[in-house]
Structure 1
């Protein structure tokens, strides 16, 4: 056995287990199983052309060599990104802890109370600092959060008779350049007209529905927007504010001057720069707009005992419900990063944040005063952390870079300098020295950082924040460490047991893939540094793009989209740009099968397309004749087909090449959803089946951890004709020759976590990647066979095989009074997270085990499912007092003095022997979703409630 082989460590079943599993399935070899599962006419003819696999040791040496090619300068560029200090207790206990980074989205609230509490803290922090009534559990970055604010305000105008035909949106010229680019991308397809200008010249015309301003401005100017917002409100124009999170410690909360929405990024609250991401964006608004808020909200409810419990609330924009009526396709958040940012506030508390903000501001004032004494003009009349300086930019740049310092060069005679929490006297004097050398001025030294104030009085903060107990309790490392552990223990993550979520591919996030995320040479690079300072990143990102091109069979890749849903949107926008370039701007019909993931129709609408739904047949496959008829009927205006492969039903549809041919014959392009790519890699690919663009979920197939609901990365890979339209960035040139405007704030999206996928592919190599796919199919079919006779598999391929996932039909159990949700909750008592519930078919479970699970773990899961099936057999509609209806069973319930349930404590909590060795206890009983929606509370209770 080659113990240096990463493949051996990544793939769960060894050769003996594989043989036993194949015997259970009834085939002689793994190749026979694959031949019976994957249609022959879509199989690849040769192995992927990738470099030989590296061992873990070789890879870690390799990634350190690449890291050394990055030049970590002190970057004072700002523009929404600032070097931050990650508290070590948070880095070690959250960022580097699989108990936090391997958890799934908290759809099963009873086994996610820890990260739900951490996200509630985040929401409370955002509400407190912005002054708004409601915040969500994070968005992808500041730019996309601003676009969601615009979409929300556009949606609200529909309710206003005077405004429902109005389409102009004012954008202050102070907005960050990357935010403006994303606003353009999102506005154009849905008919919003952007008007960029100076807010002081705005005419408040009735043709506007909304506006957005930057606070402070892009080069640091703190502007009093009180009169602007008041006049806008008088004219029924709602204003969004893009705000710097740390500045809000010292600046007036935007709610105080009438903001309708406040957005931004929490990156500077203890998150690495990471060459642009991942970082948690924030979104806060008014209670009145709660039905239009994008993303996820964590709310407080109660369980069936009446005890306080947390859950994801108000999933009103969940696209499985709204589909083509949705105004946002957001289906993820940046949970891991939001947890870290919230914990940064918990650890520092109000006093600590005040100290940090004061220190940053004092350092900025000290720098400004020193430069002014040298005769250098500073033009910001009011500022928090960024000064704007008149000086010959090229001269300054040469000396600054020679001294490993980056500023933001506005034009030939102006630059800005943004100060952050890492800056002390040494750094300030290094900045001053650059100016004195470049301008031949007498050398001078700042001897002391003195208290200063450069914030105009009307913008000073005078309201309290972070008064809640949680922000005033855990300021010692001991207390903080224990608080983080207390929350971690409430959550079931991949480090406890298999999470068999269909369509979500919860595979191993290997330690060697994760380790480089903590290296400073990867973490401390600003996304807008000159390319020669990021050569390590450039090499990794180019290699990863090449690897993904090889795997998909395509010609070009953009890593910019930082979620799967954003990848969908980006892919459709490249198709839109392609048609426009060819003079076919009228092509706007998007065909989408009825079985598609709910983000698909939402993404199509966002890209300005009209959705036409095509039928599926009795076996769950696309109805080819219905698709053909609709493609022909719309041939003059057909833009695209969105298709998932293997299908959302877990089947390799043999007609896929015929389907893509029909679309091409009628003038359309084919977008393939990459959610199920774990069933393709090395065996087939999107190019082979006839697709033109696909997005890939790097947080699924390519091993980036789900992190409790994010980070995600959703790059798009495209055929040659779409390469020219790959997305660009206004600060650092990326994308194709005819690039669409940006879809994410950073040029390469969440570049830091792309290291994980690069490591995954590099250490597996061509054979390892292909064997991973084969073993994913093996594990799924093994579960299918073991559960045969207990559960019915809803859809299978032509030879009765599943792909990498399957749908178990639980609808017949209603006759016993059992719903699919009861099975999901009962699985918690057996130590497992439920598979995907009621998607894509109501009353079903979609199971995907991934290749990373051993036979022993698959058997434990199957044993649990079979035991639950036996419990279902004896359940009746008339008597609902049974283990399934009462699940999950908490430790408190089990150890109570009285036990009045009609079954034993052992059956409740230890129904199978393996559970006693590794018992996971849900910390609340079944939550009351309806109560939580009727009584929405989404921030920590005020301190008075605890006194």
Structure 2
């Protein structure tokens, strides 16, 4: 018997499924799946997973798991701090589906709310760091710093391969830097500046931590000047809260600033998800990786936000891309930006001052007790020198509920944060055998900030809860998310994110755990992670899984590094060619380059399948150097290719490994297992197949799953000694959102997961069958079937009428829909993925809209409407446009604003008209414009 949740998750009920099957000519779901999936890869057993349980039972189990975690007072630091998430932000952003179910803002006209929030984020970062341009956002501090290193290398005038790193850098950051440097031929050289060690003779970049891991605050101006004299670029990993009191990286001439915004109201979550940041000085903005929000203008000339060109650089430049970053941490960046909006500059400075005062009290009291400090210049972290006593002191503090950081046998580090109280300070002092005494004088005054920050009105307006609540509502009302209707995107699954799945994320037992807490306090998390990894291994047919990668792109990199490590262990380090089909997602090629591989493209045939003859030729040509092939299955074209098992065998015969990109795993679960049909490694997008919400473009989790022979090469704990190839800052990556996927699998059970796959395939084929006579379906597999998505070809329409894929996408907004994926993987097409969560009424509403739009196209084709003045060319239509005093178009206002099938009582109005992307790329504006810009 299946769990009652299955019927909640799957949209079409049995009667609706029968209607859908009839439309595509099949008598049952089983018959459809037998025809769709090649028998050579078909899994006919039952997944070895526990039976699905109810929502109430799932919450009870999660409560028991959470109860095994110990919520102590973390004063460990190292870039992770307790913080207070303002309740108005927790309820109205983190727990609000209007924010967490939104898609990446590639359709900017219906994303103006989250784009404004991200522009606030960029402005916050640039103001605090003293830089010119920031992106929105990075995955965590460690990966942000790694991106800064590669940015410095491609922008530096130095020909050196040496990257100099301050020894007082966070250890987890250093681990990720080393992982990213080695395949690229970068030599990371650690320099202990406190001991007077000299910088290398030549280096292309210098990394400085500010404040350092020890808490020390240093004047780096001389080092920056020396680095510039060598032609090197300088990155400062800076604490944003400290920068409300301390001189900015920009003021000392740094080229890049990187770090995390976690302590701006984002819970610890055992390591994530948290929004990292990356900011650059003028002149480097065009090299900035990741997503960048810019200001452009719409068809009326009004300011409007959109993503800048380099946001999608992997898709444009592929193996020449400078980064594989695809997911950002948008939801968390929104939270951090709203924390700054809510508190404003005075509030942030007050919080920072309280934190610093606590640290001064600790320092003064320890000094009064005769205890030496490693540095007398600090912001929030004090390191005490206690020869031979470090472990004992930390144990005494832990016994009283406070976690400290043991640096080594002789040093203990204590970090204050927003939640630190006088009682916490007294507890820590008691562990040292000290008592509260007069605070130390602040020795950091010489480095005090003298410049203003966050002067824009948005940071000085919404300080009451009433104002903040209304601001958040205003922004969310501008956006289209799953709480409004279907988001039929191919390639990026947008299925139900059930409330029960989301519920545990904000429980203190999950939210308030430091990633470096003692293992005795994290048994609940360790149990949940181990269970989830075991379930994912069973579902995929692999032998081992790591959830450390905090995005699909990082999962790709981790998988390719595992392949690299495997070949090297066998004395075959020369194997460095990675075969990639021409249809592949852009991150595949970028990831291969980052893993030190050479990309060789394999052609696709006219049906969209991998060209096996070209594959044979490429394998033969590169046989001795073949490292791997990266394929997406079902294919990027949305087809179950019949020869996938043959492909795997051919690559293995030549000594290579097979990487199956798990982007489309939601079309396989319960029916085929990559680890059993020939693949060696896959990454899995938990934010697609396993229901972690997109959050406007992130968080994402990209676990990597491997066969037994690759297990030893999986990423490991960045704080553990050894060469583990850590790809993110925390051992379990974005652990704070893993309860979502755990709950989904637990409630669905093996039968429910299998049914979800079948229903997704049914829905895609239903849409394809209903629309095929109006729009050609570009690719199909055997029996004319697609997998979980279908590609509608708009190119013949464009050739005949001038109506473009953009016109169709924007017109769908007027009908109350988010557009499908545009021009990927084929330019001039729409890729549609309905998912298993949409019921028949919503599927039919979308189909009706697409048919109605084809009818409008026919009126353009007939000459009834001019090619440059019709509802498609002018879409989307705003309320202002439709109610304007003048109306000079050949179609009615009603056709413009209330086309056929639109519910007049629940109409979504886009806040802006079509946005001029090219203008925004030519005129890059990436921080909050003045209010006067909108008045104009």
TM range (shorter): over 0.9
Q: Is 1:481 aligned with 2:469?
A: yes
**Offset of 1:945 from its aligned partner?**
7.1
In structure 1, how many angstroms separate the alpha carbons of the residues matched to 2:153 and 2:615? 33
Deviations 1:905-925 (A, max 9, x none): 111111123432421110000
In structure 1, how many angstroms separate the alpha carbons of the residues matched to 2:563 and 2:192? 34
In structure 2, how many angstroms separate the alpha carbons of the residues matched to 1:772 and 1:433? 56
Given that 2:303 and 2:934 are in contact with CA atoms closer than 8 Å, whether structure 1 keeps it comes out as no
In structure 2, how many angstroms separate the alpha carbons of the residues matched to 1:675 and 1:51? 24
**Offset of 1:902 from its aligned partner?**
1.1
Q: Is 1:743 aligned with 2:715?
A: no
In structure 1, how many angstroms separate the alpha carbons of the residues matched to 2:443 and 2:556? 43
Q: Is 1:752 aligned with 2:746?
A: no
Given that 1:137 and 1:338 are in contact with CA atoms closer than 8 Å, whether structure 2 keeps it comes out as yes
Given that 1:574 and 1:740 are in contact with CA atoms closer than 8 Å, whether structure 2 keeps it comes out as no
**Offset of 1:435 from its aligned partner?**
1.9
Partner in structure 2 of residue 646 of structure 1: 634
* Equivalent residues in 2 for 1:504-903, closer than 5 Å: 504-732=492-720, 740-814=724-798, 815-876=800-861, 879-903=867-891
Q: Is 1:387 aligned with 2:386?
A: no
**Offset of 1:205 from its aligned partner?**
5.2
Partner in structure 1 of residue 122 of structure 2: 123
Partner in structure 2 of residue 323 of structure 1: 318
Q: Is 1:182 aligned with 2:182?
A: no
Deviations 1:409-451 (A, max 9, x none): 0111111000000012121112122222xxxx6xx346xx97x
Deviation beyond 6 Å, 4+ runs, structure 1: 943-947
In structure 2, how many angstroms separate the alpha carbons of the residues matched to 1:923 and 1:320? 28
**Offset of 1:315 from its aligned partner?**
1.9
In structure 1, how many angstroms separate the alpha carbons of the residues matched to 2:633 and 2:139? 26
- 1:192 aligned residue (175, 186, 189): 186
User: Is the partner of 1:94 in helix, strand or coil?
Assistant: helix
Partner in structure 2 of residue 216 of structure 1: 211
Given that 2:164 and 2:200 are in contact with CA atoms closer than 8 Å, whether structure 1 keeps it comes out as no
**Offset of 1:872 from its aligned partner?**
0.8
Consecutive unaligned residues in structure 1, runs of 5 or more: none
Given that 2:109 and 2:912 are in contact with CA atoms closer than 8 Å, whether structure 1 keeps it comes out as yes
- 1:435 aligned residue (404, 407, 432): 432
Q: Is 1:237 aligned with 2:236?
A: no
Given that 1:292 and 1:317 are in contact with CA atoms closer than 8 Å, whether structure 2 keeps it comes out as no
**Offset of 1:314 from its aligned partner?**
2.8
Deviations 1:825-869 (A, max 9, x none): 000000100000000000000000100000000000000000001
- 2:272 aligned residue (262, 277, 287): 277
Deviations 1:526-568 (A, max 9, x none): 0001111001101100000000000000000010000011111
User: Is the partner of 2:259 in helix, strand or coil?
Assistant: strand
Deviations 1:809-831 (A, max 9, x none): 00011121101011010000001
**Offset of 1:204 from its aligned partner?**
5.3
Given that 1:303 and 1:924 are in contact with CA atoms closer than 8 Å, whether structure 2 keeps it comes out as yes
Given that 1:638 and 1:668 are in contact with CA atoms closer than 8 Å, whether structure 2 keeps it comes out as yes
Given that 1:12 and 1:851 are in contact with CA atoms closer than 8 Å, whether structure 2 keeps it comes out as yes
**Offset of 1:739 from its aligned partner?**
5.5
Q: Is 1:413 aligned with 2:410?
A: yes
Deviations 1:388-425 (A, max 9, x none): 00221121122112112110001111110000000121
Partner in structure 2 of residue 378 of structure 1: 373
Q: Which deviates further from its counterpart, 32-41 or 773-782?
A: 32-41
Distance 1:59 1:335, change over 3 A: same
Given that 2:496 and 2:691 are in contact with CA atoms closer than 8 Å, whether structure 1 keeps it comes out as yes
**Offset of 1:287 from its aligned partner?**
2.8
Deviations 1:116-175 (A, max 9, x none): 000000000000000000000110000000000000011113xx4xx3x32111011011
User: Is the partner of 1:646 in helix, strand or coil?
Assistant: coil
Partner in structure 1 of residue 166 of structure 2: 172
- 1:264 aligned residue (259, 266, 272): 259
In structure 2, how many angstroms separate the alpha carbons of the residues matched to 1:705 and 1:95? 11
Deviations 1:560-600 (A, max 9, x none): 00001111111000000000111111100000011111111
* Equivalent residues in 2 for 1:37-52, closer than 5 Å: 37-52=36-51
**Offset of 1:514 from its aligned partner?**
0.2
In structure 2, how many angstroms separate the alpha carbons of the residues matched to 1:611 and 1:138? 27
User: Is the partner of 1:240 in helix, strand or coil?
Assistant: strand
**Offset of 1:732 from its aligned partner?**
4.9
In structure 2, how many angstroms separate the alpha carbons of the residues matched to 1:732 and 1:90? 35
Distance 1:47 1:492, change over 3 A: same
Deviations 1:786-830 (A, max 9, x none): 112101100001110010001100001112110101101000000
Distance 1:946 1:36, change over 3 A: closer
Distance 1:943 1:32, change over 3 A: closer
User: Is the partner of 1:886 in helix, strand or coil?
Assistant: coil
In structure 2, how many angstroms separate the alpha carbons of the residues matched to 1:943 and 1:494? 30
Distance 1:753 1:702, change over 3 A: same
- 1:358 aligned residue (342, 353, 359): 353
**Offset of 1:508 from its aligned partner?**
0.3
**Offset of 1:741 from its aligned partner?**
2.0
In structure 2, how many angstroms separate the alpha carbons of the residues matched to 1:869 and 1:664? 47
**Offset of 1:258 from its aligned partner?**
0.8
**Offset of 1:286 from its aligned partner?**
1.8
**Offset of 1:485 from its aligned partner?**
0.1
CA RMSD of aligned residues (A): 1.5
**Offset of 1:233 from its aligned partner?**
1.0
In structure 2, how many angstroms separate the alpha carbons of the residues matched to 1:583 and 1:177? 30
Given that 2:845 and 2:901 are in contact with CA atoms closer than 8 Å, whether structure 1 keeps it comes out as no
Distance 1:69 1:498, change over 3 A: same
In structure 2, how many angstroms separate the alpha carbons of the residues matched to 1:318 and 1:42? 34
Deviations 1:307-349 (A, max 9, x none): 1100001326621111111121111210000000000000000
Deviations 1:672-698 (A, max 9, x none): 101100100000011122100000000
Distance 1:43 1:920, change over 3 A: same
Partner in structure 2 of residue 18 of structure 1: 17
**Offset of 1:457 from its aligned partner?**
3.5
In structure 2, how many angstroms separate the alpha carbons of the residues matched to 1:624 and 1:913? 46
Partner in structure 1 of residue 246 of structure 2: 251
Consecutive unaligned residues in structure 2, runs of 5 or more: none
**Offset of 1:778 from its aligned partner?**
0.6
In structure 2, how many angstroms separate the alpha carbons of the residues matched to 1:410 and 1:445? 23
TM-score by length of 2: 0.97
In structure 2, how many angstroms separate the alpha carbons of the residues matched to 1:621 and 1:913? 37
In structure 1, how many angstroms separate the alpha carbons of the residues matched to 2:309 and 2:250? 22
In structure 1, how many angstroms separate the alpha carbons of the residues matched to 2:298 and 2:934? 20
**Offset of 1:202 from its aligned partner?**
5.8
